């Protein structure tokens, strides 16, 4: 659950300093004090929260998904070697008639040398349960280098199980190596500073995130516009990893193929069409529960501003080129 202004996630450190309009400082202070007391009491008792934070008294193992692109719910942490989790679903998607789930991303601490066994109890109810067969979860100690860990899926119980003994005090587990919203911002900042690149901020999402479009090359008579968009589904970070590599090559002045492409065409690249879903840890939808891949026929500002603004700019650029 997030505040409607400022995209602050309840339970995060920033939320303790956020005060909505119309609320007095005294009331805000009492609310923060109450929240701090509740958090402290929960850690002391080892209680778990269904909202993505939990502690096991046995061994002091912590689980946390309160951050950019995080997703997990905690059912039971009574035994650090038998932790029961749930993947938090997206908002209900009307076009798909379901609440999608598959993406998970969370951190565990105080785990060095501990034989962890993590059970995802609702894996069988996720969007594509057949995809769990043969799947191996991703893990990382430094959030840069990712590796696979032993993972088994029981088709009878619908439970996915990770078994891993971490070598470091903290480890991150994820459905796939995440490309977080913060990393996306770094990609945009890094790329727009290179020669021949223009950044177009074409609109905002429902959560207030920027919709960033990168133009590479110069439009001209007879030059086609080439559009490359990625990550309408936020739970597919591999698409933005591809866009990252593509942009790196297109902006390499020593790459003959890139120079040839930008001489003959104007490239428009949108590495992340769905930053809200990325930030929230969704699999398929934006903040309103819309599958953007299904919104192109009739996009609107109210529930699919991402596609609405992208399609608007596509039409404008096409008209300018006479296409």
Assess whether pLDDT exceeds 80 at residue 4. no
Going by pLDDT thresholds of 50, 70 and 90, the confidence category of residue 48 is: very low
Mean pLDDT over 162-169 rounds to: 98
Going by pLDDT thresholds of 50, 70 and 90, the confidence category of residue 81 is: confident
- Confidence at residue 11, expressed as pLDDT on a 0 to 100 scale: 31
Going by pLDDT thresholds of 50, 70 and 90, the confidence category of residue 319 is: confident
Assess whether pLDDT exceeds 50 at residue 9. no
Assess whether pLDDT exceeds 70 at residue 50. no
Mean pLDDT over 219-225 rounds to: 90
**Cα dihedral 258, 262, 267, 271 sign:** positive
Going by pLDDT thresholds of 50, 70 and 90, the confidence category of residue 39 is: very low
Q: Residues near 286 by Cβ (< 8 Å), separated by ≥ 6?
A: 205, 206, 274, 276, 277, 292, 303, 304, 306
Assess whether pLDDT exceeds 90 at residue 12. no
Range scoring the smallest mean pLDDT among 44-53, 137-146, 216-225: 44-53
- Confidence at residue 26, expressed as pLDDT on a 0 to 100 scale: 55
- Confidence at residue 222, expressed as pLDDT on a 0 to 100 scale: 87
Going by pLDDT thresholds of 50, 70 and 90, the confidence category of residue 60 is: confident
- Confidence at residue 77, expressed as pLDDT on a 0 to 100 scale: 87
**Cα dihedral 294, 299, 304, 307 sign:** positive
In 3D space, the residue among 164, 208, 176 whose CA is nearest the CA of residue 71 turns out to be: 176
- Confidence at residue 321, expressed as pLDDT on a 0 to 100 scale: 73
Going by pLDDT thresholds of 50, 70 and 90, the confidence category of residue 33 is: low
- Confidence at residue 248, expressed as pLDDT on a 0 to 100 scale: 98
The answer to whether the CB of 130 falls within 8 A of the CB of 161 is: no
In 3D space, the residue among 230, 180, 232 whose CA is nearest the CA of residue 70 turns out to be: 180
pLDDT tens sequence across 87-139: 999 999 999 999 999 999 999 999 999 999 999 999 999 999 999 999 999 99
Range scoring the smallest mean pLDDT among 60-69, 136-145, 251-260: 60-69
- Confidence at residue 120, expressed as pLDDT on a 0 to 100 scale: 98
237: left (phi over 0), alpha (psi -120 to 50) or beta: alpha
Output the average pLDDT for the chain. 86
Mean pLDDT over 27-41 rounds to: 52
- HSE, CB side, 13 Å, CA atoms: give it for residue 253: 5
Assess whether pLDDT exceeds 60 at residue 43. no
Mean pLDDT over 213-240 rounds to: 95
- Confidence at residue 2, expressed as pLDDT on a 0 to 100 scale: 31
């Amino acid at each position: 659950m997030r505040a409607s202004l400022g995209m602050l996630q309840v339970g995060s450190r920033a939320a303790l300093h956020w005060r909505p309009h119309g609320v007095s400082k005294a009331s805000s202070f009492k609310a923060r004090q109450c929240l701090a007391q509740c958090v402290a009491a929960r850690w002391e008792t080892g209680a778990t929260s269904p909202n993505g934070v939990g502690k096991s008294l046995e061994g002091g193992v912590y689980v946390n998904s309160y951050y950019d692109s995080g997703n997990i719910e905690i059912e039971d942490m009574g035994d650090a070697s038998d932790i029961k989790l749930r993947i938090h679903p997206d908002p209900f998607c009307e076009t798909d008639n379901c609440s999608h789930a598959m993406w998970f991303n969370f951190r565990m601490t105080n785990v060095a040398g501990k034989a962890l066994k993590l059970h995802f109890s609702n894996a069988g109810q996720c969007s594509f349960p057949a995809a769990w067969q043969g799947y191996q979860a991703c893990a990382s100690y430094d959030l840069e280098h990712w590796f696979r860990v032993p993972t088994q899926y029981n088709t009878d119980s619908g439970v996915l199980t990770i078994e891993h003994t971490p070598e470091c005090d903290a480890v991150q587990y994820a459905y796939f190596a995440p490309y977080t919203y913060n990393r996306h911002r770094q990609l945009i900042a890094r790329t727009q500073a290179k020669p021949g690149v223009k950044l177009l901020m074409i609109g905002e999402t429902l959560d207030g995130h920027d919709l960033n479009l990168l133009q590479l090359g110069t439009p001209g008579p007879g030059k086609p516009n080439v559009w490359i968009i990625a990550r309408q589904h936020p739970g597919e970070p591999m698409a933005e990893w591809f866009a990252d590599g593509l942009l790196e090559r297109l902006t390499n002045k020593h790459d003959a193929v890139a120079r040839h492409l930008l001489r003959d065409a104007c490239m428009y690249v949108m590495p992340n069409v769905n930053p809200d879903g990325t930030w929230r840890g969704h699999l398929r939808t934006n903040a309103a529960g819309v599958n953007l891949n299904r919104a192109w026929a009739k996009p609107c500002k109210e529930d699919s501003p991402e596609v609405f603004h992208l399609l608007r700019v596509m039409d404008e650029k096409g008209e300018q080129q006479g296409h």
